[in-house]
Amino acid sequence: MRQTIRVKVNGVERENAVEPRLLLVHYLRETLNLTGTHVGCDTGQCGACTVQVNGEAIKSCMMLAVQANGSEITTVEGLASGGAYHPIQQAFWDLHGLQCGFCTPGMMMAAVGILKRNPNPTDAEIREQLEGNLCRCTGYQNIVAAVQSAAAAMREAGVTQPAQVHSGAAGE
């Protein structure tokens, strides 16, 4: 009963026969070996599995792989481009926006989504819009600072879209 799906993940075309019940996060992690996207809960609360599907930040544990058929997906492995970090990655590094790093990929993908909708958010807006992403280490303070810093860098560079994917980060 497998169904064939075609998706473009981090810029690379993929075609796989998957079980209809396979979650998108497991397709990314197990089928494509893109293990940067993490599973932190099973109820859609924690946001560790956040990726972008057709430019929207979504929780990949709340979507079936077959529902993603035909879409373009960006995971954390596809954030950097041309050998340079995405501004959100740079800011998380510069401002100590991560500790154990487990929530970080999802947090960054959600943050990129926020900045796409609102390139100049207030701290309160960032906090509100990160509500769906939990972090147990940082107390969020440096995450908020990192998102602000990335926002400023992206405004300066005139980047309004999240970085497009590049090859070499597409898993196996």
Q: Looking at residues 134 to 163 of the shown chain, list those that interact with other proteins (rule: CB under 8 A).
A: 134-144
Residue 84: both structure tokens together: 């340079």
Least distance CB 7 / other proteins (angstroms): 17
Q: Which of 5, 7, 112, 126 binds other proteins (CB under 8 A)?
A: 126
Residues 6+ apart with CB under 8 A from 168: none
Residue pair 161/116 in contact (Cβ under 8 Å)? The answer is yes
Is residue 34 near other proteins by the rule CB under 8 A?
A: yes
Residue pair 150/144 in contact (Cβ under 8 Å)? The answer is no
Q: What is the H or E stretch that residue 168 is in?
A: none
Q: Which of 32, 58, 68, 130 binds other proteins (CB under 8 A)?
A: 130
Residues lying near other proteins in the complex (CB under 8 A): 19, 21-22, 29, 33-43, 45-46, 48, 75-77, 79-80, 85, 89, 92-94, 96, 98-105, 108, 123, 126-128, 130-144
